Amino acid sequence: MSANEYEAAVLDLDGTVYLGESLIPGVDAAISRLRDAVGPVRFLTNKAIDRRREYSDKLRRLGIDADRSDVVNSGWVTAQYVSKRYPESEVFVIGESPLLAEFRDAGVETTTDTPGDLVVASMDRGFDYDDLDIALRTLEQGGPFLATHPDRTCPTASGEIPDAAGMIGAVEGVTGRTVDEVLGKPSPRMIETTLDDVGVDPSECLVVGDRIETDILMGERAGMTTVLVLSGVTDREMILGADIDPDYVLESLAEIDDVLTDR
């Protein structure tokens, strides 16, 4: 497929566009090239520890033009899902204040210190034994167990840090329950929400990310053209051991012309 056959591009953020507070070299020019060649560019992140506005503000600080509507994150998708699927429920949230704010804006009642009707687990740097106890008591009542995203770690400029999988695994361990649904990547809900907004078919869209088990798996399942970048958590040895086969593998997003000029 050539550049003029793509109608949109979806980009991961951490490890793909930036690491910590530093833009990955050449990414600004690559995003400009994508916008010229294919049209709309959207940014997808599984991180629920900030809100969409904070991500778009960060992108602008780093020299990438972006509005809040250009960003989709797992916290926002999860809050929208719960508001529609469980509108009368109180949610016990394992997560940080930006995720709680997403639920509040979606009209969902939340609790952080007493059992609720269901559990939503996410990355939470203040996670402790009390959270685990309340999750156990909530799920003993038979309520749903949801998660914003499944990432094991989050890439930063100084290395990887624990992500939501640690909280999810702890709850699964003490309750004997497996999470019922994950709303972030690689869930189809994440990409469906994004492409519905853009108005393009998955087959006409590029997805670029650094995590083979989320970004690339999501794109592969949706029928998108998948581009794995090695600027984040995945290296070439991990590709060899995976059941997922990216359409392209690049050192970084800066090499996107290799995809756009391929015939």
Write out the catalytic residue numbers: 12, 14
Residues in CB range of 4: below 8 A, 6 or more apart:
37
The 10 Å CB-count burial string (b at 16+, else e) for 188-225 is: ebbbebbbeebebebebbbbbbbbbbbbbbbbbebebb
- For residues 59 and 17, is the Cβ–Cβ distance under 8 A? yes
Task: Name residue 110's beta-bridge partners.
Answer: 91
Q: Which helix (H) or strand (E) holds 260?
A: helix 257-260
Pair of tokens at residue 169: 């695994």
Q: Is 178 helix (H, G, I), strand (E, B) or coil?
A: coil
Helix 74-85 × helix 188-198 angle, to 10°:
100
Q: Is 57 helix (H, G, I), strand (E, B) or coil?
A: helix
- CA 74/CA 153 separation, integer angstroms: 15
- For residues 124 and 48, is the Cβ–Cβ distance under 8 A? no
Among all chains, which residue has been given the structure tokens 């990547």? 185
